A and B are shown apart, each in its own frame.
Chain A
């Protein structure tokens, strides 16, 4: 037999959520004896027997298949080192950087220079110190200079919305191009600085209020 102990929507680290072996600890939880306990501050999601806590704040953890926005930090002989907002730079090899043939000894800065912003995918994560990137994939590219903002990575799914509905609405209403990386970065390019500011503020608003009910309506109103 198992019992759900708490009625809270938001749980905090160390809080006992359920007792008994019927329930299983999934994301953001662990088992201690009979108890299932939250490890992060977040929203409680019970899916059948699985107890999840969806974090409301937290660092980005890279995983293969994620799309991220990064900044070129270092150019080496065999490729680039890219700051994707984690403790150590990610690697972009020549092979994964472009479909073009790069001649031996070529100046790699011609392809991606220092401080260039790229939209890339993660192909492999061994440790935080060994994250590999690739530019092969739809929409992956070098981004022209634009407004680059940091948001809490846990809020990215909210910013994108169901099937991209939220981000589409912001793009449409602000007439901006927007690229969102799962690493908690967003790149904005609009026709005017005012449009870009509006898009920035919209994203910030979702970051601050994303866990509340009625977000879509709030955002519609905000963007009018």
Chain B
């Protein structure tokens, strides 16, 4: 059976409704909330601060450390609080997706900690987390050569689609999930993962779609950062 109409009624190339906000956590140096559909990510930046253990310190620049975790009630079946193999891997790839844009040369021997929490999940949480983290770092005033923007594309049933929902990830006829992060100015991928089964041509199509999605998210992120300085009436 062909997948002719999306479960939530969107067009195949359509992104879910998004919203973003910075400066939501007063105890952090920088913070942000990023929502895409029912998926919500919040991120906070602490530091630059002292790094332990010592052997992780770098004498020529600061170190970025990302920590991703989901709230126990963010998913239908309660997730046990605390880290898992999954959250550790996502923390790692999140860090790797953001690191290329950061300029931490002014903060040698220190760590910049980014904590990402997912209060509510409906697919695409690592991508939402990367968008929130990127906004929080800009909000903290950490020097960056670009923002990092992320979206999940892939295949649900027989269709290449933008921004999969959980329901589409569980499509009876199979699904392919491709989380992608990009640096918008030079169009480089800083996160690229794939789970599923897809042809070479379909993958190319999906990656073009990802670029389109990232452009849309980038516009929102720019606006969010600018609007955070709007005069409050």
Direct touch of chains A and B (CB < 8 A): yes
B145/A37 in contact, CB under 8 A: yes
What CA separation (Å) do A12 and B229 show in the bound complex? 12
What CA separation (Å) do A82 and B232 show in the bound complex? 37
Query: Could you tell me which residues of chain B, from 48 to 63, have a CB within 8 Å of some CB in chain A?
Result: 48-51, 59
Does residue A40 face the partner (Cβ distance < 8 Å to B)? yes
The interface residues of chain A lying within 8 Å CB-to-CB of B108 are 127-129
List the one stretch of A52-60, A174-182, A195-203 in contact with chain B: A52-60
The 8 Å CB contact of A128, one of B107, B144, B145, B184, is: B107
Does residue B13 face the partner (Cβ distance < 8 Å to A)? no
B183/A14 in contact, CB under 8 A: yes
The interface residues of chain A lying within 8 Å CB-to-CB of B183 are 14
B142/A58 in contact, CB under 8 A: yes
The 8 Å CB contact of A129, one of B109, B145, B229, B232, is: B109
| Contact flag A10-B47 (CB < 8 Å), given A39-B143, A61-B106 | no
Does residue B101 face the partner (Cβ distance < 8 Å to A)? yes
CB distance from B146 to the nearest CB of A (A): 3
Does residue B19 face the partner (Cβ distance < 8 Å to A)? no
Closest A residue to B107 by beta carbon equals A128
B141/A87 in contact, CB under 8 A: no
What CA separation (Å) do A154 and B30 show in the bound complex? 14
Give the dominant DSSP class at A's interface: loop
B229/A211 in contact, CB under 8 A: yes
| Contact flag A57-B141 (CB < 8 Å), given A16-B185, A39-B103, A87-B49 | yes
What CA separation (Å) do A208 and B107 show in the bound complex? 26
The interface residues of chain A lying within 8 Å CB-to-CB of B143 are 13, 28, 39-40
| Contact flag A30-B141 (CB < 8 Å), given A61-B106, A127-B109, A209-B231 | no
Query: Could you tell me which residues of chain A, from 37 to 74, have a CB within 8 Å of some CB in chain B?
Result: 37, 39-41, 55-59, 61
| Contact flag A88-B147 (CB < 8 Å), given A41-B139, A128-B107, A209-B231 | no
Does residue A212 face the partner (Cβ distance < 8 Å to B)? yes
A128/B110 in contact, CB under 8 A: yes
Question: Interface on A for B, CB 8 Å cutoff?
Answer: 8, 10, 12-16, 28, 30, 32, 37, 39-41, 55-59, 61, 86-88, 127-129, 154, 208-209, 211-212
Question: Interface on B for A, CB 8 Å cutoff?
Answer: 29-30, 47-51, 59, 101, 103, 106-110, 138-147, 183-185, 222, 225-226, 229, 231-232
A sample of 11 cross-chain residue pairs with beta-carbon separation below 8 angstroms, ordered by A number, consists of A10-B229, A12-B226, A13-B146, A30-B145, A40-B141, A57-B141, A58-B141, A87-B47, A87-B109, A208-B232, A209-B232
